[in-house]
């Protein structure tokens, strides 16, 4: 089989993942190498590198990115993320090259280090940690949590849930793997569940100094602090694959910083999450007997005011949806000026609160799918 692959023209070979597992797609490799050299003229022409990559794929079924290619590929993957409104600063992404780490224990240490470095004492730094890639007959490690920091969901005897209902399955899995949990609080941090390429999954318990949390208070309502709400500072996505030039890095946790509505209009407000609108409305004294009072809208605004106020008071980086909408259009204009397509998913780019009051609402976007990219595992 390997002899047959070597006999093919490297960049015209058909897709062979189904034959040998996770092989690097030669055509994707070529496209990426040409893109890298086109946007980095100081690296010279691509021909020598193309030949080198072709030989390596023919010999091993995959190839190794240079350090510069990895940094460029990770940053462009963020640039291509159609669901992210905060891409203006894609060039500032810090890339932690940890491709030599493949064991569950090593991944656990890197997850903790990632959070400590990305948190920056509250000055959140966009960061990605790239761990071992998939290769033929040698799968890379994976993280089963969708974010490094997630709050547990505790089932009660009456059928209710204390905590974040989104994470019921993750909490159950953690308990199956030996997590004893806590007394059943609303904001109990779950362990990170790491699945190595070979072997059993490992629970990584995050130390307290790696998880910065912000207690929520309202600038005008003292009672808001009595709700004892809080949220963590770093939204580190951890279950997506970083695909660069036909190579899949299945374990590449990455983060930017929060936009306030992600917490105030979704995590804390959604009916299938913390579902706090009725609680806030009641404390505000609003008429919840009729939808015409717009009590949900009023409570939603005050909840978001509390989130923005609390993060600012704590000195933790956060942006609001009006500012970030304007920044996204600045990014869009820059990409168009550079002659590049800027893909965007309208349903994700438009904020979940006051959408029509933001400039991103009133236009359509290119929906092309570009690579490199962050994608969900196939």
What 8-state DSSP symbol labels residue 127? Answer: E
Tokens of 148: 């490094």
Mean pLDDT of 179-192: 91
Catalytic residue among 49, 75, 78, 84: 84
Lowest mean per-residue pLDDT among 15-19, 279-283, 311-315:
15-19
Catalytic residue among 22, 49, 87, 98: 87
State pLDDT tens for residues 212-226: 999 999 999 999 999
Is the Cβ–Cβ distance between 152 and 188 less than 8 Å? yes
Output the pLDDT for position 377: 75
Residues at the binding site for heme are: 84
Angstrom CA distances, 193 to 104, 179, 376, stand at 9, 10, 17
Is the Cβ–Cβ distance between 99 and 132 less than 8 Å? yes
Catalytic residue among 69, 110, 243, 262: 262
Beta bridge partners of 130: 97
Q: How far apart are CA 272 and CA 167, in angstroms?
A: 11
Q: How far apart are CA 106 and CA 100, in angstroms?
A: 9
Q: How many helices (H) and strands (E) does the chain have?
A: 12, 16
CA end-to-end span of the chain: 24
Residue with tokens 């209009």: 265
Give the CATH number of domain 65-234+243-346: 3.90.440.10
What 8-state DSSP symbol labels residue 209? Answer: G
Beta bridge partners of 376: 240
Sign of CA dihedral 71, 76, 82, 87: positive
Mean pLDDT of 191-207: 96
Whether 257 is catalytic: yes
Q: Look at 373 and 378; give whichever has higher pLDDT.
A: 373
Output the pLDDT for position 23: 87
Residues at the binding site are: 84
Mean pLDDT of 19-29: 77
| Percentage of residues of the chain with pLDDT beyond 70 | 94
Sign of CA dihedral 156, 158, 159, 163: negative
Beta strands at 94-97 and 127-130: parallel, antiparallel or unpaired: parallel
Beta bridge partners of 142: 195
Whether 28 is catalytic: no
Q: How far apart are CA 374 and CA 248, in angstroms?
A: 10
Beta strands at 236-237 and 254-255: parallel, antiparallel or unpaired: antiparallel
Residue 214: half-sphere exposure toward Cβ, Cα within 13 Å: 28
Tokens of 361: 């609402």
Phi and psi, residue 88, nearest 5°: -55, -35
Whether 84 is catalytic: yes
Q: How far apart are CA 283 and CA 299, in angstroms?
A: 9
Is the Cβ–Cβ distance between 241 and 248 less than 8 Å? yes
Q: How far apart are CA 60 and CA 23, in angstroms?
A: 9
Mean pLDDT for all residues in the chain: 93
Whether 262 is catalytic: yes
Catalytic residue among 90, 179, 257, 295: 257
State pLDDT tens for residues 64-99: 999 999 999 999 999 999 999 999 999 999 999 999
Q: How far apart are CA 97 and CA 76, in angstroms?
A: 16
Q: Is 271 exposed, middle or buried (0-12, 13-18, 19+ CB in 10 A)?
A: exposed
């Amino acid at each position: 089989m390997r002899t047959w692959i070597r006999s093919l023209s490297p960049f015209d070979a058909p897709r062979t993942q189904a034959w040998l597992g996770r092989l690097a797609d030669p055509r994707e490799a070529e496209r990426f190498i040409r893109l890298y050299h086109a946007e980095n003229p100081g690296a010279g022409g691509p021909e020598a590198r193309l030949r080198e990559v072709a030989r390596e794929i023919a010999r091993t079924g995959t190839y190794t990115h240079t350090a510069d290619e990895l940094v460029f590929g990770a940053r462009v993957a963020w640039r291509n993320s159609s669901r992210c409104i905060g891409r203006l600063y894609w060039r500032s992404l810090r890339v932690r090259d940890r491709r030599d780490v493949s064991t569950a224990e090593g991944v656990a240490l890197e997850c903790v280090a990632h959070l400590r470095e990305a948190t920056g004492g509250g000055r959140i730094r966009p960061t990605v940690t790239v761990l071992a890639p998939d290769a033929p007959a040698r799968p890379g490690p994976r993280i089963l949590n969708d974010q490094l920091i997630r709050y547990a969901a505790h089932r009660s005897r009456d059928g209710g849930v204390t905590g974040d209902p989104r994470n019921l399955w993750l909490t159950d899995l953690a308990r199956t793997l030996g997590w004893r949990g806590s007394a059943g609080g609303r904001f109990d941090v779950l362990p990170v569940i790491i699945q190595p390429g070979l072997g059993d999954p490992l629970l990584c318990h995050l130390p307290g100094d790696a998880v910065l949390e912000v207690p929520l208070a309202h600038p005008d309502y003292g009672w808001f602090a009595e709700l004892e709400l809080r949220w963590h500072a770093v939204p580190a996505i951890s279950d997506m694959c970083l695909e660069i030039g036909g190579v899949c890095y299945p374990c590449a946790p990455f983060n930017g910083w929060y936009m306030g509505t992600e917490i105030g209009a979704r995590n804390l407000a959604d009916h299938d999450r913390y579902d706090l609108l009725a609680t806030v409305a009641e404390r505000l004294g609003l008429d919840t007997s009729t939808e015409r009072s717009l009590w949900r809208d009023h409570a939603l605004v005050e909840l978001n005011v509390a989130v923005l106020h609390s993060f600012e008071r704590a000195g933790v980086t956060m942006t609001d949806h009006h500012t970030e909408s304007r920044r996204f259009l600045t990014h869009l204009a820059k990409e168009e000026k550079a002659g590049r397509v800027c893909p965007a998913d309208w349903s994700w780019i438009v904020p979940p609160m006051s959408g029509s009051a933001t400039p991103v609402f009133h236009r359509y976007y290119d929906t092309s799918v570009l690579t490199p990219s962050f994608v969900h595992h196939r």
